[in-house]
Amino acid sequence: MLGISKLGKSHGAQVLFSEASINFNAGSRYGIVGAEYSPDDGSLWLFR
């Protein structure tokens, strides 16, 4: 298992999220789905 806690993201003074946590379990598959995704829009900043 991989766990991440106390994660936050903001753009200037605007806080998008803070104190977020996520766990990835071995043997599971994960994907990200979003509207109008392009590799350059920064949506996957966490996974780059």
Question: Which domain covers residue 23, as residue numbers?
Answer: 1-27
In a domain, 46, yes or no: no
Mean pLDDT for the stretch of residues 12-41: 78
Write out the E strands in the chain: 2-11, 14-24
Q: For 17-33, give one letter per residue: b (16+ CB within 10 A) or e.
A: eeeeeeeeeeeeeeeee
Cα–Cα distance, 5 to 18 (Å, whole number): 10
In a domain, 5, yes or no: yes
Residue 33 pLDDT: 64
Q: If pLDDT is split at 50, 70 and 90, which confidence band does 4 have?
A: confident
Read off the pTM.
0.46
What tokens were used for 27? 């043997």
Per the structure, the count of domains in the chain is 1
Residue 48 pLDDT: 43
Helices H / strands E in the chain, number of each = 0, 2
